[in-house]
Amino acid sequence: QIAVTVAVGLLVAIFAILLLGWLSDRYPRIGVLAICYMVGGVGTLVLAIAGTLWQFWIASMLITVLTASENLSNALATDLAPRQLMGKGLSFTNSGRWFGAVAGLALAGYAIEALGTRAAFLMTFLLVPVSVLMVARIRQDTVRLEQPVVEKLLQPAMDYDGSDADR
């Protein structure tokens, strides 16, 4: 039954990635990301109260939408990062996501041990508004205006031409 639940989530992922890419080309990526976070949050809520196999399938499908949104994060990073810092912007985006996953899994383990599984998933659901508000604070129009600040902070990285001659 676990294998079928995983397979259901993976089947949804195939279509979710394509649908999210299509949506992000037509609507603001920030809004699509916020919706993905909300759908994933509802998935954790369903997971917290799930008791039958079909409920776990629903939770798996909803959480998969959140996982599929990783591509949108990369697309948003390419929209926001200055051209000369594109590689760094993408590496920071992906490193931050991995750091968050590792920290989140570690904290989830402690929460499950201390509070139980249901309470831990309900606490995760409470983080959804925080993530939506954080994404909503990203303003594409002002990030481009602040580009000189970014350039000043990362000037050594911008001056590096990729050769090791100066080392």
Q: What is the pLDDT of residues 57-111, one digit of tens each?
A: 899 999 999 888 888 888 888 888 777 888 888 888 888 888 988 998 899 899 9
Quick one: pLDDT at residue 145? 38
pLDDT tens string 50-63: 999 899 989 999 99
Any idea what the Cα angle at residue 79 is, between residues 11 and 84, rounded to 5°?
125
pLDDT at position 142 over 50: no
Which 3-state string (H, E, C) describes 76-106? HHHHHCCHHHHHHHHHHHHHHHHHHHHHHHH
pLDDT tens string 3-58: 888 888 888 888 988 898 899 888 888 889 889 989 999 999 998 999 998 999 89
Rounded Cα distance between 30 and 64, Å, is: 18
Any idea what the Cα angle at residue 41 is, between residues 39 and 28, rounded to 5°?
45
Long-range pairs for 25-31: beta carbons < 8 A, 24 or more residues apart: 28/140, 29/72, 29/75, 29/76, 29/79, 30/76, 30/135, 30/136, 30/138, 30/140
Quick one: pLDDT at residue 115? 92
DSSP tag of 27:
S
Rounded Cα distance between 126 and 13, Å, is: 24
